Structure 1
Amino acid sequence: MNRILASTVLGIAALGVASTALADLKPEEQIQYRQAGYSFMSWNMGKIKSNLEGDYNAEQVAAAANAIAAIANSGMGALYGPGTDKDVGNVKTRVKPELFTNMEDVGKIAGNFVAAADNLSKVAAGGDQVEVSNAFGKLGETCKACHDEYRMKD
């Protein structure tokens, strides 16, 4: 438990340092940081999914849900700055250019994602597997909403 908490706190601290330096980030660095954030959330989503499909460990699920909520609330929208709407050198992005012209819709989708991440974290703290499964499904729906609209297919 202490190791999980320490690694989560360290991750949050690293994001805080990264967010204070956003003004100095090149477009390719913004793309790399946002991809790292989404990869970390995906990894934690996988841990929750494994727990829901196998032996359920409420402590592991809560730690993963807290990590997802921390990233979701970290201000990742700032990593979609000018010049990040396309590949930069050898740094590739799958974001569709439409994301940058539909900010009202993107804001709504992002708000739904943050709310669902916060809810999953809250529900996971209670430890009930059925409630976590429902909240996890809602979070997945918010991910899919953005992917369907603003992420290029592989």
Structure 2
Amino acid sequence: MKSINARCALGIFALALSGAAVAAEIKPADQIQIRQAGYSFMSWNMGKIKANLDGTFDAKQVTAAANTIAAIANSGMGALFGPGTDKDIGDVHTNVKPEFFQNMPEVGKLAGNFVAAADNLAKVAATGDAAAVGTAFGDVGKSCKACHDKFRAKN
């Protein structure tokens, strides 16, 4: 029952992210904050997987975290990079480099690689094989880094 509730909550969260992005009038500052929340939540779940890989491996925890990452990756977050979200707005700060918005084909390729890696991590996590999870986890990290290295400004 907990698993069903968790999946429902996750589904609602993913729908909220993608639904918010397609709403007609989401202010650029709100788009930045929503996408940052999604990335922060994915990062937190990556941390949970890393802790399991470094310590006692709990397959249920890892599977839940991997499913969360995959759901957010597939939620349509690209729509949260709309016009006007390429710069700070008031006290809302973004780390996206302007080059991101000038290289959409490359961004699309990197995003596709990330989604594929996240989907694979969720698939592998379901097997409970810690070694395979470690490899898939590394692939997700590499896909994140590929985009960050090119399109994320250093703080």
The 3-state SS of whatever aligns with 1:98 is helix
Per-residue deviation, 1:37? 0.2
The 3-state SS of whatever aligns with 2:32 is helix
1:44-59 correspondence runs (5 A): 44-59=45-60
Q: Which runs of 5+ in 2 are unaligned?
A: none
Query: Which deviations, in whole Å up to 9, do the C-alpha atoms of 1:97-127 show, x marking residues without a partner?
Result: 1000000100000000000000000000000
Which portions of structure 1, spanning 4 or more consecutive aligned residues, are displaced by more than 4 angstroms? none
Per-residue deviation, 1:16? 1.1
- Residue 13 of structure 1 is matched in structure 2 by 12
**Any conservation in 2 of the 1:5–1:63 contact (CA below 8 Å)?**
no
Return the letter of the residue paired with 1:9: C
- Residue 125 of structure 1 is matched in structure 2 by 126
- Residue 29 of structure 2 is matched in structure 1 by 28
- Residue 40 of structure 2 is matched in structure 1 by 39
**Any conservation in 1 of the 2:17–2:76 contact (CA below 8 Å)?**
no
* Aligned-pair identity (%): 63
The 3-state SS of whatever aligns with 2:92 is coil
User: 2: distance between equivalents of 1:5 and 1:65?
Assistant: 16
Matched pairs, number: 153
User: 2: distance between equivalents of 1:107 and 1:17?
Assistant: 22
User: 2: distance between equivalents of 1:136 and 1:15?
Assistant: 21
- Residue 116 of structure 1 is matched in structure 2 by 117
- Residue 107 of structure 1 is matched in structure 2 by 108
Cα-Cα RMSD: 1.2
Most deviating of 48-57 and 14-23:
14-23
The 3-state SS of whatever aligns with 2:91 is coil
TM-score normalized by the length of structure 1: 0.95
**Any conservation in 2 of the 1:12–1:71 contact (CA below 8 Å)?**
no
Q: Which runs of 5+ in 1 are unaligned?
A: none
User: 2: distance between equivalents of 1:99 and 1:4?
Assistant: 37
Per-residue deviation, 1:14? 3.0
User: 2: distance between equivalents of 1:121 and 1:18?
Assistant: 19
- Residue 87 of structure 1 is matched in structure 2 by 88
